[in-house]
Chains A and B, each alone.
Chain A
Amino acid sequence: MPNEIQILTVSELTKEIRKTLEENFQKVTVIGEISNFKAHVSGHWYFSLKDADAVINCTMWKGLNQYVFFTPQDGMKIVVNGSITVYPARGNYQLDIRSMKPSGLGELQEAFEKLKKKLDAEGLFDEQYKKPIPSFPQKIGIVTAIDCAAFKDMVSVAHRRFPLVELIIAPTRVQGIGAAESIVNSIKFLNEQKNIDVIIVGRGGGSIEDLWAFNEEKVSRAIFSSKIPIISGVGHEVDFTIADYVADLRAPTPSAAMEIATPDIREIHNFINEFVLISSRVINENLEESKEKLNSLTRSYGFRIPYELVKRKSQQIDITVSRILKNIEKSSIVYDKKISLLAKSLEAFDVKKTLRRGFVLVEQNSKFVTRANKFNKKQNARLKFYDGDVNTR
Chain B
Amino acid sequence: MQKKKIKSNFEQDLLRLEEISRMLEEDNIELEEAIVLFDEGVKLSKSCLKTLRESELKITELKSQLEKFSQVEE
User: Residues of A with Cβ closer than 8 Å to B?
Assistant: 131, 135-136, 138, 146, 155, 158-159, 163-171, 182, 185-186, 188-189, 192-193, 195, 227, 265, 268-269, 271-273, 275-276, 278-280, 282-283, 286-287, 290
Contact of B41 with A188 in the complex, beta carbons under 8 Å: no
CB distance from B8 to the nearest CB of A (A): 5
Give bound CA distance, A278 to B11, whole Å: 21
Question: Closest residue of chain A to B26, judged by CB?
Answer: A282
> 9 pairs across A/B with beta carbons < 8 Å?
A135-B11, A163-B56, A167-B57, A168-B62, A185-B70, A268-B52, A272-B49, A278-B21, A286-B31
Give the contacts of B42-74 with A (CB-CB under 8 A).
42, 45, 48-49, 51-52, 55-63, 65-66, 69-70, 73
- CB of B20 within 8 A of CB of A279, answer yes
State A279–B34 Cα separation when bound (angstroms).
9
Chain B residue at minimal CB-CB distance from A185: B70
Among B24, B55, B62, point to the contact of A193 (Cβ < 8 A).
B62
Minimum CB–CB distance for A275 against chain B, Å? 5
For the complex, give the distance between the alpha carbons of A138 and B11 in Å: 10
Measured between C-beta atoms, what is the minimum distance from A80 to chain B in Å? 27
Cross-interface CB contact of B45 among A276, A283, A287, cutoff 8 Å: A276
Q: What are the interface flags for B29-44 relative to A under an 8 Å C-beta threshold, 1 for contact and 0 otherwise? A: 1010011001001100
Q: Which residues of A sit under 8 angstroms from B2, Cβ to Cβ? A: 131, 227
Given contacts A146-B61, A189-B65, A268-B52, 18 further A-B contacts (CB under 8 A): A136-B14, A163-B57, A164-B51, A164-B52, A166-B60, A167-B57, A167-B59, A185-B66, A265-B52, A265-B55, A268-B14, A271-B17, A272-B17, A272-B49, A275-B41, A282-B25, A282-B38, A283-B38
Residue pair B59, A169 in contact (C-beta under 8 Å): yes
C-alpha spacing A146/B60, complex, angstroms: 12
User: How many residues in B have their beta carbons less than 8 Å from beta carbons of A?
Assistant: 39
B19 to chain A, nearest CB (A): 11
* Residues on B facing A (Cβ under 8 Å): 2, 5, 7-8, 10-11, 14, 17-18, 20-21, 24-25, 29, 31, 34-35, 38, 41-42, 45, 48-49, 51-52, 55-63, 65-66, 69-70, 73
Say yes or no: A169 contacts B69, CB within 8 Å: no
Complexed CA–CA distance, A275 and B65 (Å) = 44
Q: Report the Cα distance A159→B2, complex, angstroms.
A: 28
Chain B residues whose C-beta falls within 8 Å of the C-beta of A276 in the assembled complex: 41-42, 45
Contacts of A227 in B (CB 8 A): 2
Contact between A195 and B5, CB atoms less than 8 A apart: yes
Task: For A269, list chain B residues within 8 Å (CB).
Answer: 49, 52
> Given the complex, which residues of B lie within 8 Å of A282, measured CB to CB?
24-25, 34, 38
Contact A185 B73, beta carbon cutoff 8 Å: yes
- Which residues of chain B have C-beta atoms less than 8 A from A283's C-beta? 24, 34-35, 38
CA distance A286 to B20 in the complex (A): 15
Q: Are A167 and B60 in contact (CB under 8 A)?
A: yes
**The one of B21, B31, B62 that contacts A290, using a Cβ cutoff of 8 Å:** B31
**Residue ID in chain A nearest B13 by CB atoms:** A272
Q: Which residues of B contact A185 (CB under 8 A)?
A: 66, 69-70, 73
Known contacts A189-B65, A195-B5, A268-B48; is-contact A286 B55 (Cβ 8 Å): no
* Residue in B8, B56, B57, B66 whose CB lies within 8 Å of A170: B66
Q: Give A327 to B45 CA distance when docked, in angstroms.
A: 77
Known: A268-B14, A272-B17, A275-B21. A286 touches B61 (CB 8 A): no
